[in-house]
Amino acid sequence: MTIREWIRDREISGFPTFSVDDVRSAFTNYSEQSIKNDLFRLSSQGILYPVYRGFYVIMPPHYAAKRMIPPIYYIDQLMAYLNKPYYISLLSAAEILGAAHQRPQKFSVMTVFPKSTVSSAKNNSLVWEYRKEIPSDFLLSRNSETGTILYSNSELTAIDIVQYEQYIGGLSRAATILEELTENLDFHGVSDSLLDYTSIATIQRLGYMLEDVLGQTEIADVLYTELRSYAKRFRYVPLNTRKTVENAEKNSRWKVYINSIIETDEI
């Protein structure tokens, strides 16, 4: 059996991904160079799509014309290969939740440290963000073409797009996504279970945006109650961490220096 035939058998059997270690195990009589040559040739022919160092996806016919496979097709298998917890995050999670406004150009994945050592040039579709720990209680799952994917729920997505706003285009973009998420936001009872995974400053900024920018006072009131239960006292923080707070107005409830103008896009 050739490597090409082995790949075809995997495809027929419903295993659309594999690692170079899988090939080594199946072809013990092949030299390392022969395996590399075959995988390179099959990738050049569009039969394989290398998405990470040592990890390949068999090109599905419906993606062959573009020779590009969306990460949602293989992300669960890739993270299992890396042996790392994950969830689809930020704008990619918002899109799954029906709140992306526009289709994101990149696919965001949250995982844990240490950071990836693979450059974005190897797969520029994926954008990695990192946490110390994954808040698994706030993840949702759904079926994909190749199995099951994990993504952040509305509350965790709302927190993430404020905490990581620099990766999605800034606070105005975050507010636009928040506006679409508000229909499903419910922060009742999340104080210890979810706020442990973020910073108090992030919650202050989120609360200010919900209340003063978006006018979502009921959601903001619940979040404020949870924040006060979690942290009895908190200090003033800048709305925009990349701008000075000199001469900025203050929001006394959320203790936020309003040093940035936020404008949402028309939906």
Mean pLDDT score across all residues of the chain: 92
CA atoms 197, 202, 208, 209: torsion sign: negative
Does residue 124 register a pLDDT over 90?
no
Separation between Cα atoms, residue 204 and residue 227, nearest integer Å: 8
Q: State the average pLDDT over residues 18-24.
A: 97
pLDDT of residue 123: 77
CA 202, CA 241: separation in Å to the nearest integer? 11
Residue 64 is given by DSSP the state: T
Report the pLDDT value the prediction gives residue 95, as an integer from 0 to 100: 94
Q: What whole-number distance in Å separates Cα of residue 109 and Cα of residue 240?
A: 24
Instruction: Return the DSSP state at 71.
Output: G
Predicted pLDDT at 94: 95
For residue 24, is pLDDT > 70? Answer: yes
Could you tell me whether strands 148-152 and 139-143 are parallel, antiparallel, or unpaired per DSSP bridges? antiparallel
Per-residue pLDDT reduced to its tens digit, 145-200: 888 999 999 999 999 999 999 999 999 999 999 999 999 999 998 888 889 999 99
Say what the pLDDT of residue 22 is.
97
User: For the segment 186-213, what is each residue's pLDDT rounded down to a tens digit?
Assistant: 999 888 888 999 999 999 999 999 999 9
Q: How many CA atoms lie within 13 A of 115 on its CB side?
A: 8
Could you give the C-alpha distances from 127 to 105, 183, 252, in angstroms and in order? 10, 27, 36
Is residue 54 scored above 90 in pLDDT? Answer: yes
Residue-wise DSSP of 108-140: EEEEESSPP-S-TTT-TTEEEEEESS--GGGEE
Tens-place pLDDT, residues 73-117:
999 999 999 999 999 999 999 999 998 667 788 899 999 998 876
CB 127 within 8 A of CB 167: yes
